């Protein structure tokens, strides 16, 4: 910067010295100078000015490498990152059965009205069996909140938030609509253990409310599940029952450390 200013001052002094030799335009008045064409001045002096101008142009108006780098960052097309989560859909079926030994369900009325009303609660917990009814898996545990009472149809609508526990294998979290006497589809919102990172949907079939339910889960985002969770399901009917060994939770008919 100091070198640039010194060069400009030197050129200015030389120009003024050259103009001082010109006669005044009108006698008695101060000198008025008409600048000579640039070609009449020493060429080498303007080489400095030209290089100075070029540097200034690069700084003020030119595209610096920093500017180009910034533009490249914002405008270059980024390749989308491929997800490492498995996209395979695994179909897993389970039975939820109320065996009248867990004090479930409970209905808690929060309104003074005689009929069911918005906000009424229904906590519940039942036993879980594999789809082939040969393995005791664990339990369900959750809460239903009444959203809409429909006395004409008997199909009250609840928002259900609950989990299924599978012993050492972990658990699955579920949320969505639960409608009395009607099949519904809920969302799988997460899980733990072998179900960590899971997502998908669950089809809930009510076989005999509130005692027997059949679930078909379409699970994504996880590795292949253990074979003992994936047995061929028994078609759901009101008369299906777990095997005697599964009911008794015998070691060969229950998952490790099943939740009770």
pLDDT in tens, 32-65: 545 555 445 455 544 444 454 445 554 455 555 5
pLDDT higher at 19 or 217 = 217
* Pairwise CA distance, residues 201 & 187, whole Å: 5
Q: What is the pLDDT of residues 62-96, one digit of tens each?
A: 555 555 555 555 555 565 565 677 789 999 999 99
* 177 vs 16, more confident: 177
Report the chain's mean pLDDT, rounded to a whole number: 81
pLDDT for residue 99 is more than 90: yes
Assign 14 a pLDDT band (cuts: 50, 70, 90): low
Q: What is the pLDDT of residue 29?
A: 46
Degrees, nearest 5: CA angle 30-31-36? 160
Say if CB 88 and CB 220 are below 8 A apart: yes
Do the bridges between strand 127-130 and strand 199-208 make them parallel or antiparallel, or are there none, so unpaired?
unpaired
Q: How far apart are CA 131 and CA 242, in angstroms?
A: 9
* Bigger pLDDT: 16 vs 119: 119
pLDDT in tens, 233-249: 999 999 999 999 999 99
Check pLDDT > 50 for residue 103: yes
**pLDDT higher than 50, residue 28:** no
Work out the average pLDDT over 154-181.
95
Contact call for residues 222 and 194 (beta carbons, < 8 A) = yes
Q: Where residue 181 falls among pLDDT bands split at 50, 70, 90?
A: confident
Contact 100, 210 (CB under 8 A): no
201 pLDDT band, cuts 50/70/90, is very high
- pLDDT per position as a tens digit, 110-131: 988 889 999 999 999 999 999 9
Is 221:198 a contact under the CB 8 Å cutoff? yes
């Amino acid at each position: 910067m100091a070198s640039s200013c010194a060069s400009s001052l030197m050129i200015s002094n030389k120009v003024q010295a050259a103009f001082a030799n010109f006669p005044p335009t009108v006698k008695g008045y101060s000198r008025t100078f008409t600048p000579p064409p640039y070609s009449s001045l020493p060429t080498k002096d303007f080489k400095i000015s030209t290089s100075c101008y070029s540097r200034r142009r690069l700084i003020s108006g030119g595209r610096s490498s920093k500017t180009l780098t910034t533009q490249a960052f914002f405008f270059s097309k980024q390749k989308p990152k491929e997800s490492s989560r498995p996209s395979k859909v695994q179909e897993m079926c389970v039975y939820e059965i109320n065996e009248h030994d867990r004090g479930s369900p409970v209905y808690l009325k929060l309104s003074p009205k005689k009929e069911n009303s918005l906000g009424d609660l229904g906590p519940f917990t039942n036993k879980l069996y594999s789809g082939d009814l040969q393995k005791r898996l664990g339990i369900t545990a959750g809460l239903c909140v009444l959203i809409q009472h429909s006395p004409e149809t008997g199909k009250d609508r609840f928002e259900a938030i609950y989990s299924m526990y599978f012993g050492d294998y972990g658990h699955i979290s579920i949320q969505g609509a639960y409608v009395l006497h009607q099949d519904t589809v809920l969302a799988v919102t997460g899980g733990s253990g072998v179900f960590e990172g899971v997502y998908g949907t669950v089809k809930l079939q009510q076989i005999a409310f509130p005692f027997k339910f059949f679930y078909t889960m379409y699970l994504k985002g996880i590795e292949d599940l253990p074979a003992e969770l994936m047995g061929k399901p028994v078609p759901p009917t009101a008369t299906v029952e777990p095997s005697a060994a599964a009911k008794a939770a015998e070691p060969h008919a229950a998952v490790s450390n099943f939740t009770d």
